[in-house]
Chains A and B, each alone.
Chain A
């Protein structure tokens, strides 16, 4: 398809949707939401959905968007691109959403982002990390850190703030882990970090005996380990069981109650870079943390804070313009400057978020404030 026909097709589709949304219900504004409610990512999907629903309730309770209610149209994408792409098309063409939010992982989000971009419909990735998501085009935004950015923050945390210079790196071999590793290594030398060894593991691994033995033999000052709760929990548990008691530094993949449940006592003292400060005194963050606990019955996590933030960003942008004018809505999102549960949010020209990194530590069986990193140069996301 040539560029011209592509543009024509999007214009035609765009106007059809416009017509559909005008002729449809006028008292609510529909927002598409793809999220994994079944499959391996269902745990994160549940938090993501509740976080987004909470934000919608809060927006609607305080008058909605210029008198109209927000309405989420939710579909289960099983964290799979095969599901998310047709769902995105359905949301835009049949359900008539004016914008979409991804509460899903990178693969599913990338596939959907392409469809939203082709249809000139704004799309916000709440917590998927793959760099190519925002490169889909100018209608796609991201409210979470890219892996590289968080990796750089990790290097500053370990080398400068904690003063640990001899570090072993354990990396989950997927786009998430690899981009974290790249960011960490990019800045390691700058913060005086010597990398003793680097080890990869696959997302299926739960038994880390050999890596633990090797890391133990290296006797590092700290371990920078990427993973999700279901790999990081067993990893930290096995490191501590083998008597490796140096600090373990993780990232937002650890963030949540499940990590603490799996690692148990071994979780104590683990430090992560993430998006949500549990001990924040900001009223917005407190309203979210308490609201989420009440709605879900368990403590807030990074995923729910991210979808909550994405909904707020969208709602604020909608208040500035006529939400049915998608181009104007896109421009309004691009010029976002708001406070949300995850801190102050604005975007660079690629649509990547600019915000501070929250550092949390496990203490007494819960996540707590450790530090904040707000160095705009270090945390600058790529511009293209």
Chain B
């Protein structure tokens, strides 16, 4: 029963990693930019989630507001920070991204204070019995449910709609896609909107689980999400999903059984190193 419970905790954590890393991998796949500032959007999502829930009492409204606002901010970041740098070396965009991330952290500190914010009455704390005494809180069910729902919608979008097919075409070869009349710029906007909205959703989910959002909460997410997309095979959506869940599960069992030797991050990176020694190209090929 404990093993099942730990597996469940690992999947919950993995689902959060997946929501964060997916945006990152989508952006990398399309533009070859390592978007470190993505983790700041995750933090902002958490803040908006807590503030709107405390003001209105509705977590659902908070989730939607967070996803829409942060999604729009993602577009603004692309337009103002990355677009002018697209013809430069990818390192330039990476440095801009790190700068943005640091700037965002300080802005959060100035605007929201350095002590962090919490839900006045944490939502979805009640538990459900999955049978045999395996309990899961509504908030954790929501995390898993959200991840499944969002990923299914994305899969459907990308294979069954014109926009999705245009998106895939642009990822594969943007020049040819453009010559077929696809508006590349629109695809990029959409990409940043969706990726950033997913990060915001992850921020709200983390706030639900920990009941604390802080200016620095993106720090761990920033490097772990990078590790995950590398492990998944840079740019591969499927690889990112598998890597997220795998790292979530490794951390879940690891913190309990060998946590006094290796802390959570060390565990995740040890796993990454071993996995990449076996498969240097990552788990899956991009695409």
Contacts and interface: CB of A to CB of B under 8 A. Distances in A.
Nearest to B118: A262
A242 interface: yes
A230 B214 CA distance: 9
B212 A210 contact: no
B120 to A, nearest CB: 7
Size category, B interface: 35 or more
Contact of B2 (A198, A214, A243, A258): A214
B83 interface: no
A233 B121 contact: no
Interface stretch (A63-71, A157-165, A199-207): A199-207
B259 interface: yes
A26 interface: no
A230 B209 contact: no
Contacts of B251: 210
Interface string A188-214: 000000000011111011110111011
A207 B264 CA distance: 10
A263 B211 contact: yes
B279 interface: no
B253 interface: yes
B149 interface: no
B5 A217 contact: yes
B256 A214 contact: yes
Given A204-B265, A207-B209, A258-B115, A217 B260 contact: no
Interface string A240-271: 01110000000000000010011111000000
Contacts, number: 104
B9 A210 contact: yes
B6 interface: yes
Size category, A interface: 20 to 34
Interface in B218-241: 219-220
A211 to B, nearest CB: 6
Interface string A212-243: 01101100000000000010011001100111
B58 to A, nearest CB: 18
Interface in B193-215: 206, 209-212, 214
Interface in B118-155: 118-122, 125, 127, 135, 137, 139-140
Contacts of A173: 260, 263
Contacts of B264: 201-202, 204-205
A213 B212 contact: no
A43 interface: yes
Contacts of B118: 233, 261-262, 264
B122 A210 contact: no
Contacts of A202: 263-265
Nearest to B217: A206
Interface of A: 40, 42-43, 173, 198-202, 204-207, 209-211, 213-214, 216-217, 230, 233-234, 237-238, 241-243, 258, 261-265
Given A40-B216, A233-B212, A264-B118, 4 more contacts: A211-B255, A214-B256, A237-B211, A262-B118
17 contacts: A200-B260, A202-B263, A204-B220, A204-B265, A205-B263, A206-B217, A209-B140, A210-B9, A211-B259, A230-B214, A234-B210, A237-B211, A241-B125, A241-B139, A242-B137, A262-B118, A262-B212
